[in-house]
Amino acid sequence: MKNMTKMMMAATLAAGTLAAAGCQTTTPSVTAPVTQPITADALQAHNWQLVDAKRTNGEKVSQLFFDPAKPLTLKFFKDGTTNRVTFTNTCNNMGASYSVVNGNVVLGNVMSTMMACPEPQASFDTATLATVQGKYSINNNANNVPVLTIKNDNQVAYFKAVAK
């Protein structure tokens, strides 16, 4: 009887050990996105094409996607001694001067023509102005393509780097 009890205890212990070993999980090695510092050179290295924009509740900012063939694109450049950005594919011609202060993009007054744009273009222009205001960051995605993120209290927008 003692031998039987010992064998049952050993079997239970072995089964428990195997079960515990089977339940172990290994955390896959995940590489964190590579964050680039925000500089005028980093912004001017590419044009930035909108790929996604969501409100804080997760809802897509649909006004920015009415014409997939003409996505909002940010073009940063040097104009003499002034850093400038234009917002392309909008109904009105829009742009601003900008500076980078302590890693933050600070836009000057946005200049715009005042054409009476029909819908949905008028809403696209309004949504553009809301989208470009916020905290900018640049990370490389899984394919090592730079992605510009602009986040504010109301939404987050992602722009992929495209060749100039």
Structure tokens at 156: 């987050």
Give the pLDDT confidence score for residue 92 in this predicted structure: 96
Q: Could you read off the pLDDT tens digit of each residue along the chain, which spans 164 residues?
A: 444 444 444 444 444 444 444 444 444 444 555 678 899 999 999 999 999 999 999 999 999 999 999 999 999 999 999 999 999 999 999 999 999 999 999 999 999 999 999 999 999 999 999 999 999 999 998 888 999 999 999 999 999 999 99
Compute how many other C-beta atoms are within 10 angstroms of the C-beta atom of residue 128.
24
Length of the chain: 164
Whole-angstrom Cα distance, residue 115 to residue 93? 9
Give the pLDDT confidence score for residue 33 in this predicted structure: 57
Q: Where are the beta strands (DSSP E) in the chain?
A: 35-36, 47-55, 73-79, 82-88, 94-101, 104-107, 111-112, 135-140, 146-151, 155-162
Give the pLDDT confidence score for residue 32 in this predicted structure: 53
Q: How far is CA 18 from CA 6, 22, 28, 83, 153, in A?
A: 18, 6, 22, 64, 50
Contacts of 160 (CB under 8 A, 6+ apart): 48, 49, 51, 141, 145, 146, 147, 148
pTM of the model: 0.78
Matching residue, tokens 């009415």:
66
Give the pLDDT confidence score for residue 142 in this predicted structure: 87
Contact 56, 151 (CB under 8 A): no
